[in-house]
């Protein structure tokens, strides 16, 4: 699912659309970009809590499991794969296993890793994975993208607290109108036509298989 704007726009589109009123978001933070997710939640008015392991440590799996067990109100868990503050790679597959064991929705910010680090969607278990054209796929700024589970995405109508960042409305319009962008949004046409040497996703063997049918990405009209 394409979203206009920088990578932060795509992250915010997921948070504002996927986390409904009454839900509670757990943010695993070990740097500025994990804390960015928490700040997005705060600004939107989402109920959230932060498990901050500090910039020199990965999120603790035992602590995560204990937090989820102790707080049944938590519905969503978000983590940054490559925390750009330090370059630390967080163990998203192991984190995902804990999240799924406890039946929560899993959001992965793969802004600085997608296209540069192998990510197996079949084993990751992410419900939402977010990245951008201008990171590892070497494109220009202007749009990001979200890989999402269709069943979850289809259930999110009317939740977004933003008109322009309504991920469900974006998906619905593109599905119903063959990839057309919503009429009130400026299409990042130049950025989309110059996505970078690492992003010829339609021709890369294994792209559809790698996403394991969990989502859809439109790379050209």
Residue 32: count of CB within 10 angstroms of its CB: 14
Look at residue 194 in the predicted model and tell me its pLDDT.
67
Is residue 112 within 8 A of residue 31, CB to CB? The reply is no
Q: Does any domain span residue 220?
A: no
Q: Is position 218 within any domain? A: no
Residues 146-157 have pLDDT tens digits of 999 999 999 999
Residue 72 lies in a domain: yes
Domain membership of residue 219 (yes or no) is no
Note the pLDDT tens digit of each residue in 164-186. Answer: 999 999 999 989 998 888 877 77
The answer to whether residue 221 is domain-embedded is no
Q: Give me the number of domains the chain comprises.
A: 1
- Under the banding of pLDDT at 50, 70 and 90, the label for residue 101 is very high
CB-side exposure of 133: number of CA atoms within 13 Å?
26
Q: What is the pLDDT of residues 19-66, one digit of tens each?
A: 999 999 999 999 999 999 999 999 999 999 999 999 999 999 999 999
Cβ 36 vs Cβ 14: under 8 Å: no
Q: Is the pLDDT of residue 143 over 80?
A: yes
- Domain with 175 in it: 2-211
Mean of the per-residue pLDDT values for the chain? Answer: 87
- Name, in order, each residue with C-beta under 8 angstroms of 218's C-beta and a sequence gap of 6 or more: 1, 2, 174, 179
Measure the CA–CA gap between 125 and 101, rounded to whole angstroms.
11
CATH number of the domain within which 99 lies: 3.40.640.10
Q: How far apart are CA 88 and CA 77, in angstroms?
A: 19
Let me know: does 114 contact 129? Beta carbons within 8 Å: yes
Average pLDDT over residues 12-25: 98
């Amino acid at each position: 699912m394409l979203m206009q704007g920088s990578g932060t726009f795509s992250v915010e589109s997921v948070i504002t659309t996927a986390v409904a009123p009454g839900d509670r978001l757990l943010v695993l933070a070990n740097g500025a970009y994990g804390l960015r997710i928490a700040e997005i939640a705060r600004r939107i008015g989402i109920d959230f809590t932060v498990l901050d392991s500090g910039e020199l440590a990965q999120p603790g799996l035992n602590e995560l499991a204990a937090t989820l067990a102790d707080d049944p109100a938590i519905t969503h868990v978000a983590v940054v794969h490559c925390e750009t503050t330090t370059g630390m790679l967080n163990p998203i597959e192991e984190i995902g296993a804990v999240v799924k064991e406890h039946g929560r929705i899993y959001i992965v910010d793969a802004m600085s890793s997608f296209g540069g680090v192998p990510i197996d969607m079949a084993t990751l278990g992410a419900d939402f994975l977010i990245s951008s054209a201008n990171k590892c796929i070497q494109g220009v700024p202007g749009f990001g993208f979200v890989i999402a589970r269709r069943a979850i995405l289809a259930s999110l109508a009317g939740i977004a607290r933003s008109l322009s960042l309504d991920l469900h409305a974006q998906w619905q319009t593109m599905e119903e109108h063959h990839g057309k962008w919503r009429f009130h949004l400026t299409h990042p046409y130049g950025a989309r036509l110059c996505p970078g040497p690492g992003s010829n996703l339609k021709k890369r063997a294994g792209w559809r298989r790698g996403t394991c049918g969990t989502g859809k990405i439109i790379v050209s009209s």
